[in-house]
Chains A and B, each alone.
Chain A
């Protein structure tokens, strides 16, 4: 990126004054960050959305917010699958969100098979003609091979029912994460083919520079950002705004 900017300044394509260089740098950063324009694809009936990520990155909260937007603002009927059967009270947490969003919740016993919950949820969605199924999964560290295998299995179970599903697999990444975020995106992507990143907790002091690395190294775009705890604080990712914020002092 730096080389490209240097080259452009030297060749005279960009005037050599501070403001112009800065603006051009913002443009370049935005370009790298945006990879391809990629909205979240909900055209399938039902569209299956799967949420993955490391513990504590904000998967369940993000799902709650997505469901709220889909159901309250776009009028879609949403089924949530509480496939985090591991963490204590994860299903209860999702239930609260389901109530807020007016979505239906399919859950299993604590400790039961997450694939089975996803399976039931898709069946339920089909029976009721629901528009979207959102599958929550248990947080797991990308370094634990057996848990990553388990995640791949959940995906296979979904694919058995609907071959081209999940239509969107999103990974939530904590904006405060350092270089580790790149590893997370890479290993999760190897296990379940991630389509996009949700950059959460961007409301702190963190700027989420890791998104740039993920977009350029792995070609996975950031699709949504979480900037706060209320429902409206989940927003589409705007590369230009992001690039500006990255350079802001």
Chain B
């Protein structure tokens, strides 16, 4: 996401940064570049205009041009303004002080409401909340079934009464049930509708009146481009909403909608959905997103993810083993699983500062399948083999390859890689940093494996 914009902005800013002194015309030309980059990214042109104006005013201030490192100052200002454009430090959902928090989801057809409902349910579920969903889309065939299935996957209860009942009645009934069953959150899924469809908009207003939601979220497809902002604006006119859920952000290299929505409607993006899996959904942090766009990485999110997913005790035990040189393939597997719990690798790389700029990394298909294979190979070993990989001779290799559905070469590669890793660990335990050659060897060792077939999940 934001790849295209990110590249353009980063190259403009590195140009600025490379200069020791900045003249007014340098700033001018940089601003022109930034304006073009934003326009190409499908950002609303009014937004671009006012954005570059503020930016320019700030950059031409004397504290910038006369500072010791004006280039760095400009980068800092762009970062701050970009974050402000998307909503500053981020906004929170309003939560009920008692009883269930009611969240009403609305949006156009196909923007991803039902999926977003389930993802949001899973998001709250992870915080230990008891979440329920209300199936009020009675129009689209099988929308109720979809919500029931997705709800189950997200670990949420689904209130549904088929497709015969009136959506307003379903919502009212679901709220009563949620109160009686003391749920923490009730998410109301509605049918997709156009803002010009008066009947359906009136229905939405009635659901709203009956359930008095704490938050109304508009679900917006990031790929909609300029039109997304228009949709949000017209929705804002007929049905007030409190925030936006941006979906399919991974399908859009421009990010124009994400950058314009706050400025045009005044409503912040609260959540962003970035992938097929139910976990590919997170709170939207404008400040962190700005840093990612500018290639500064998002270490905060990475740390948060790690804290959520990595079991501290397990990590300590592993470290202990590493220090004592007892690290076996079993431990390697545990470690691998911990890292994978944090989400797809490609997502993690984008959070590392400077990594986005590494072309090879970006274009290399980061293969989750490769990791699947490593797991399969290790799982096909006996406990003895895992503890002591030295045991693995030719015939064992053949057996392991057969058992894991891989080739002997793959097994060889893994064993070799593991050996190199152990050498490095030993060095690190002894207080030495690994040499760059060692690192390169380790990184390069896995590259010749054949590409696995397409796989989901």
Q: Which residues of A contact B (CB under 8 A)?
A: 54-58, 61, 64, 86-97, 110, 140-147, 149-150, 153, 174, 176-181, 183-184, 201, 203-206, 229
Instruction: Report if B453 contacts A (CB, 8 A).
Output: yes
Partner among B224, B250, B369 whose Cβ is within 8 Å of the Cβ of A177: B224
Listed from nearest, the 5 A-B pairs whose CB atoms lie closest are A178-B225, A56-B110, A96-B141, A88-B149, A93-B142
The interface residues of chain A lying within 8 Å CB-to-CB of B248 are: 54-56, 141
Contact A201 B196 (CB under 8 A): no
B224 touches A178 (CB 8 A): yes
How many CB-defined contacts (below 8 Å) exist between A and B? 129
Contact across chains for A177 and B225 when beta carbons are under 8 A apart: yes
Contact between B252 and A180 (Cβ–Cβ < 8 Å)?
yes
Contact with A along B209-233 (1 / 0, CB 8 A): 0000000000001011111101100
Given A180-B254, A205-B230, also A88-B153 (CB < 8 A): yes
Decide if B110 touches A146 in the complex (CB within 8 Å).
Answer: no
Do B110 and A180 have beta carbons less than 8 Å apart? no
Contacts of A86 in B (CB 8 A): 276, 456
Judged by DSSP, the binding face of A is loop
Q: CB of B108 within 8 A of chain A?
A: yes
B440: interface (CB < 8 Å)? no
B443 in contact (CB, < 8 A)? no
How far, in whole Å, are A88 and B231 apart by their CA atoms in the complex? 27
Q: List 17 A-B contacts (CB under 8 A).
A: A56-B221, A87-B146, A88-B145, A89-B148, A93-B143, A93-B146, A96-B142, A141-B248, A146-B365, A146-B369, A147-B456, A153-B454, A176-B221, A176-B228, A178-B224, A178-B254, A179-B254
Answer yes or no: B455 CB below 8 A from chain A CBs: yes
B residues contacting A by CB (< 8 A) are: 42, 108-112, 115, 139-146, 148-150, 153, 194, 196, 221, 223-228, 230-231, 234, 248, 250-254, 256, 276, 365, 369, 453-456
Take A54-B223, A144-B276, A178-B225 as given contacts and tell me if A90 and B454 are in contact as well, using a CB distance cutoff of 8 Å. Answer: no
Chain B residues within an 8 Å CB radius of A143: 250-251, 253
The chain A residue sitting closest to B223, CB to CB, is A180
Instruction: List, in ascending order, chain A residues with CB within 8 A of B108's CB.
Output: 176, 201, 204
Contact of A180 among B141, B153, B251, B454 (CB under 8 A): B251
A-chain residues with CB within 8 Å of residue B230 when the two chains form the complex: 205
A142 and B251 contact, Cβ closer than 8 Å, known pairs A56-B109, A180-B225: yes
- Once the chains bind, are A89 and B454 in contact (CB under 8 Å)? no
Tell me, in angstroms, the Cα distance from A206 to B228 when the chains sit together: 10
Residue from A56, A150, A176, A184 in contact with B112 in the complex, judged by beta carbons closer than 8 Å: A56
The one of B109, B194, B225 that contacts A179, using a Cβ cutoff of 8 Å: B225
Chain A residue at smallest Cβ distance from B3: A143
Min CB distance A144 to B, Å, is 7
Q: Evaluate contact between A88 and B196: CB separation under 8 angstroms.
A: no
- A55 / chain B contacts, CB cutoff of 8 Å: 110, 112, 115, 248
Shortest A228–chain B CB gap in Å is 10
Question: Shortest distance in angstroms between A156's beta carbon and chain B's nearest beta carbon?
Answer: 12
Partner of A89, one of B139, B145, B256: B145
A229 to B109, CA, bound (A): 10
Question: Considering only CB atoms, which chain B residue lies closest to A64 in the complex?
Answer: B141
B194 contact set on A, CB distance < 8 A: 203-204
> Which listed residue, A56, A90, A176, A206, touches B142 by the CB 8 Å rule?
A90
Give every chain A residue within 8 A of B111 (Cβ-Cβ).
56
Closest to B41 in A: A179
Q: How far is the CA of A88 from the CA of B145 in the complex (A)?
A: 8
Bound CA–CA A153/B453 (angstroms): 10
Closest Cβ of chain A to B32, distance in Å, is 21
Q: A134–B393 Cα gap in the complex (Å)?
A: 52
> Is B221 touching A174 in the complex (CB atoms < 8 A)?
yes
A149 CA / B42 CA spacing, docked (Å): 28
A145 pairs with B365, CB closer than 8 A = yes
Question: How far does the alpha carbon of A34 sit from the alpha carbon of B353 in the complex, in Å?
Answer: 47
Shortest CB-to-CB span from A139 to chain B, Å, is 9
Please indicate the chain A residues that have their CB under 8 angstroms from the CB of B142 in the complex. 89-96
